Amino acid sequence: MVEATNIGLEDVGNDKSKTFDFLPTSTTGQIIKHEYYTLSYSEKAEQAEWIAYELKKRYLKKNNFQKPFFNEDSKVKTGSADWRNYKSSGYDKGHLCPAADMGFDNSAYNDTFLTSNISPQDHDFNAGVWNRLEQKVRYWASMYNGVYVVTGGILGNKIGTIGDEAVVVPRFFYKVLLDNSNGEYKMIAFLVPNKKSDRPLYNFVVSVDSLEKMTGIDFFPNLEDKIENSLEKTNDYKAWLFN
């Protein structure tokens, strides 16, 4: 595991100079910074091991942007996977940072269609339980005036691979959220199988500690240790509003 990076996610509007300083550690050493999100790219898995960004309430805007083609990420030195790996694979090109989270800016929206931001997802998972979770994250961003989001696949536990570049198909995907809107931090994490499910979202809540053991990633290394240790060991979701 490499040390935590100081690279941050730039905010927008009047807070442009502020940075997101809760980035996870990278197990790959290849951290890519885009204007509104940061990722750690795994060349071995041909996808990001995590995508991290801040989703503020004011970012939640619907748009009429034209949907772009998927393109390789020129910032990935080893080259991100070609979208053709997904063709006829039976899997969706699943966004890790949803395009709907970047509706406030055309450039930010287009960046979500870089192949470093996609992972093979079962269609019923992508359009079903994962979509429900993405909508819930936007609901919380609205309720709490913004949340920090980290998401990715469990790359060490795969269903198989697709395409000529052997893009890993994760068996599970995760999201970790951090909020401090009321002056006190709270955290919640989800681990969801890459398949169809009608189960309530709270059934997928896990401790951040368990995800760190599965991935080798320290999700919020820049949090004060006492706060980090307390939050990461719990899987209590009662502090978060479910409806």
Domains in the chain, CATH or no CATH each: 13-232 (3.40.570.10)
* Whole-number pLDDT of residue 190: 98
* Whole-number pLDDT of residue 6: 35
Given a cut of 50, whether residue 5 has pLDDT beyond it is no
Contact call for residues 50 and 206 (beta carbons, < 8 A):
no
* Whole-number pLDDT of residue 32: 97
pLDDT in tens, 171-183: 999 999 999 887 8
Out of 6-15, 46-55, 147-156, pick the least confident: 6-15
pLDDT top residue among 134 and 12: 134
Contacts of 91 by beta carbon, 8 Å cutoff, 6+ apart: 120, 121, 122, 123, 162, 169
Contact call for residues 50 and 151 (beta carbons, < 8 A):
yes
Q: What is the mean pLDDT of the chain?
A: 90
* Whole-number pLDDT of residue 223: 87
Closest CA to 144 of 204, 187, 88: 187
* Whole-number pLDDT of residue 215: 97
Please give the C-alpha separations between residue 18 and each of 8, 107, 158, 210, 220, in angstroms, as whole numbers: 9, 19, 37, 31, 18
The two three-digit tokens of residue 168, written as one number: 């890993």
Please give the C-alpha separations between residue 83 and each of 46, 115, 117, 156, 165, in angstroms, as whole numbers: 11, 6, 11, 22, 10
- Is the entire prediction scored with pTM above 0.85? yes
Residue 79 Ramachandran class (φ > 0 left, ψ -120 to 50 alpha, else beta): left
Residues with catalytic function = 95
Given a cut of 70, whether residue 117 has pLDDT beyond it is yes
Given a cut of 70, whether residue 10 has pLDDT beyond it is no
CA distance 119 to 91: 9
pLDDT in tens, 182-234: 788 999 999 999 999 999 999 999 999 999 999 999 999 988 888 888 888 88
Given a cut of 70, whether residue 106 has pLDDT beyond it is yes
Query: Would the annotation count 126 as a binding residue?
Result: yes
Provide the pLDDT confidence category of residue 12 given band limits of 50, 70 and 90. very low
Residue 241: CB atoms within 10 A of its CB come to 11
Given a cut of 70, whether residue 17 has pLDDT beyond it is no
Q: Are strands 147-153 and 47-55 parallel, antiparallel or unpaired?
A: antiparallel
